[in-house]
Chains A and B, each alone.
Chain A
Amino acid sequence: ETGVTQTPRHLVMGMTNKKSLKCEQHLGHNAMYWYKQSAKKPLELMFVYSLEERVENNSVPSRFSPECPNSSHLFLHLHTLQPEDSALYLCASSQEDSAGNTIYFGEGSWLTVV
């Protein structure tokens, strides 16, 4: 148990569906992240929210839409995805107030797009 909880753990969706991934952190951190992990590729940072404001978007397609209503919750809204979007989506949190704090990851949400 890392203090970062992701739901659902597994999701299968069609290309025309709309779904959302949820992440909740119980660590009192002020920054939350979405990462994508595809087979044979390094983890890719998708979105960062620091102090509830999005500070970086690494040119992720608009079919992925993040939402951070407060410092403890983070969502990733999914719509009209493609099969190549199938991957493990990892949420993480950290306390971003010094030059090097440990980042804590959730267990991930396995997404399959059919």
Chain B
Amino acid sequence: KQEVTQIPAALSVPEGENLVLNCSFTDSAIYNLQWFRQDPGKGLTSLLLIQSSQREQTSGRLNASLDKSSGRSTLYIAASQPGDSATYLCALPGGATNKLIFGTGTLLAVQP
């Protein structure tokens, strides 16, 4: 059974810092991995999707990497801004492709 862990649970950084969020998973036989952002009281917004054949994906100041052999993914945020404050979740398919299993998320606060 796939289990997804995110560390740290919460993170506070000053504006402008580069930061890394971590996601670990127990079953390396995955189709893909997705990173999402969730603002308080809102739904989830997909940030990046990495296919199992890829090692990383980039979108603007975000870079997500995937290392299947070690069961890890990281989300790198460059030059953080207060608007980046949100909860970041990673998710992987549990069995079929889009029946996602989520981590508990990392709550990020970027201080101005």
Contact = CB atoms under 8 A, between A and B. Distances in A.
Interface of A: 2, 4, 6, 31, 33, 40-43, 45, 48, 56, 88, 90, 92, 94, 96, 98-108, 110
Nearest to A10: B41
A16 B51 CA distance: 45
Contact of A2 (B4, B31, B45): B45
Contacts of A104: 46
Considering residues B36, B44, B91, B93, which has the most beta carbons from chain A within 10 angstroms of its beta carbon?
B44
Contacts of B91: 43
Contacts of A100: 31-32, 49, 51-52, 93, 97
Interface in B13-34: 31-32, 34
A104 B100 CA distance: 12
B43 A106 contact: yes
A48 B43 contact: no
Interface string B36-60: 1000011111100101100000000
B99 A56 contact: yes
Nearest to B3: A42
A55 to B, nearest CB: 8
Interface residues of B, number: 28
Interface of B: 4, 31-32, 34, 36, 41-46, 49, 51-52, 89, 91, 93-94, 96-105
B49 A102 contact: yes
A66 to B, nearest CB: 15
Contacts of B105: 42
A98 B105 CA distance: 26
Contact of A99 (B4, B31, B36, B103): B31
Contact of B104 (A41, A92, A103, A108): A41
